[in-house]
Structure 1
């Protein structure tokens, strides 16, 4: 990870904190491949309790179902690393929190591929009261730490964009 990339996450998290606090918005996260790093990036910022409601680390499929109500049919049909699961994770985090915006991460950090899903593929979900969307980003086989850091940066950007769009 480059020096720029290390400083990138705290500055994004700080910008998110300031933007969400200015609008009185609360956030939740649902994480699989990032394993709590996203929640950690947000809560490292002083004053984060004003905007961060809760985080769910749902590494296993059972945890995704139990804690976030991801349907077993969705997991079987699309696999844990899919936009469908990412969307259900984000919706589940929103529904099970006091947050206004929720984001999710699920992917293959590596090393190596998982089935037909390549290392570096991460799916993101974003949920608000009026929006549910998902996207896939191919970060490439750059190593576990780099993929997870890239996923955290992207999720922070998604949250910041959602805060900016909020009334």
Structure 2
């Protein structure tokens, strides 16, 4: 896991925005394996605005720790919009924060299918009781897919926070 200058800059921007709005956040990560939370907690003083993280690779952990209904997992699969949105809501509710990021995807090199090829990543953001999500198809190897996921997750949360503050 390499923390690039770009990711560090985004994390710092996010920390300043969360501090400015006196908000705390959490993450629910699957394919990124805690990379978002690692980038965020590299910032001194992050305990002021970062409450915690759940890294849930298995469906059982998504269900148990993030309140993702088994029916959603069975119907749509772990890498889907409905599941990642519930992951974002679940981690926010369980850690009692108004802001969260959730990521689930197929980073590769294996595990892809025709419907969900390697590089398919779903990201959700929970911001003040509203949930937003988007599907992405990232290119590159496992490391590159994961890094792009972290970058987009941080960038979009900054944008959502700035937008909600106006």
Give your verdict on TM over 0.5.
yes
Match of residue 128 from structure 1: 127
Stretches of structure 1 that go unaligned for 5 or more consecutive residues are: none
1:150 aligned residue? 148
SS in 1 for 2:89: helix
Secondary structure, counterpart of 2:150 in structure 1 = helix
CA distance in 2, matches of 1:130, 1:89: 14
* Within-5 A mapping of 1:69-84: 69-84=67-82
Unaligned runs of 5+ in 2: none
Q: Report the Cα distance in structure 1 between the residues aligned to 2:156 and 2:23, rounded to whole angstroms.
A: 14
- RMSD, aligned CA: 1.7
Q: Deviations over 1:110-167 (max 9, x none)?
A: 0034233111110011113431121101112x00011111111111112212221233
Q: Deviations over 1:4-46 (max 9, x none)?
A: x821100000010111101101111100000000000000011
- For residues 74 and 134 of structure 1, what CA distance do their matches in structure 2 show? 16
Q: Distance in 1 between matches of 2:21 and 2:128?
A: 15
Aligned residues: 164
Q: Does 1:103 align with 2:105?
A: no
SS of equivalent residue, structure 1 residue 166: helix
1:118 and 2:117 equivalent?
yes
Q: Distance in 2 between matches of 1:8 and 1:88?
A: 28
Match of 1:51 in 2: 49
**CA–CA distance in structure 2, aligned partners of residues 7 and 120 of structure 1:** 23
Aligned partners of 2:148 and 2:22: how far apart in 1? 27
